[in-house]
Amino acid sequence: MALNTASMMENFVDVFILLFTTIVAFAAGNDTGGSSFHYSVEGKVPSLQDYYPDWTIRTRILVNGGQYVGFLKHDGSFQVQNLASGSYVFEVDNADFDFEPVRVDINSKGKIRARKVNYIQSSQVNTVQYPLKFRLRGVANYFQKRETWRITDMLMNPMVLMMVAPLLLMVVLPKLTSMQDPESQKEMQDMQQQIQQPQMPDIAEKLTSLFGDSRPKSIKAKKVK
C-alpha cells in the first residue's frame, strides 16, 4: 500500500511538472505573440541589366542601415519578412548607383504606409507608392569635383573691389557733375580741390597766436606809464 502511494505521488509530481512547463510555455508564447515578427514588406528595384547582367547579386536591400537585409530576385523584386510594427528606412545598397531611400511605417494592425525620408522634419508625411518602387538617382559619386578657376573669382576678390570702386567713382563723378548747373559744378570743384590739397596750418602763425599775446600787453603798459 505504501509502495502504491509513493508511486502515485511520483506520477502526480511528474504530471504537475509537465503541466506547469506547458502552461509557462503557452504563457510565454502569448506574451511574445503580440510583438512577434510576422509582417513583411515588398517592393521592386528598377533593372540595371543594361549596365551589368549580375546586378541582382550586387544589389541588396538594407533596413535601418543593415539591421535587416533583403535580397533581390531575378526580376528585381524583394520581400523582407519578420518585421515588427514600427518605422523602418529601406535603402538600396549598390556600389555603382544611388537610389532614393524610403521610410516604411507598420502599425500594430499590420497596415503598411510608405513615405519619403525626411530626417529634418521626421513628422512630415509625403506618401509614396506601396509596394515599394525605388527611384534611381544616378551614378554614385564618391569624389568631390575639383574647383576650377573662373574670372568671376578674381573680380569678386575684396582687394580687387577695393581698387575698382574708387576708380569707378573717379570716372562717374565728373560725368555727374557735368550734367549739373554751373554753380553746383563750381562747388564740386572747390570741394575736390580742398580734398586733393588740404590746407595745412602754418606753424609760425600757430606759435605767434600762442606766445605773441604777451608783447602787446607789455607795450601798452609802458605807454600808459
Residue 190 lies in a domain: yes
- Residue 28 in grid coordinates: 510565454
Residue 66 lies in a domain: yes
Give the bridge partners for 42, in sequence order.
79
Residue 32 lies in a domain: no
- pTM given for the model: 0.51
Same domain? 166 vs 90? no
Give the residue numbers spanning the domain of 179. Answer: 147-196
- Residue 111 in grid coordinates: 497596415
- Phi and psi, residue 110, nearest 5°: 90, 10
Same domain? 130 vs 50? yes
- Cα gap 222→214, rounded to integer Å: 13
Percent residues over pLDDT 90 in the chain: 22
Q: Which of the listed residues 90, 119, 139 is the one where a domain comes to its end?
A: 139
Same domain? 159 vs 129? no
Residue 25 lies in a domain: no
Same domain? 104 vs 173? no
Percent residues over pLDDT 70 in the chain: 64
Residue 224 lies in a domain: no
CATH code: domain of residue 56: 2.60.40
Alpha helix (H) residue ranges in 66-202: 151-155, 158-178, 182-196
**Mean pLDDT rounded to a whole number for the chain:** 76
Residue 76 lies in a domain: yes
**Contacts within 8 Å (CB) and 24+ apart, 50-58:** 51/96, 51/97, 55/94, 58/94, 58/95, 58/96
Question: Domain total for the chain?
Answer: 2
What digits encode the pLDDT tens for the residues 184-202? 667 777 777 766 655 555 6
Same domain? 127 vs 151? no
Q: Which range (86-95, 96-105, 113-122, 130-139) has the least confidence?
A: 113-122
Q: Is pLDDT above 90 for 89?
A: yes
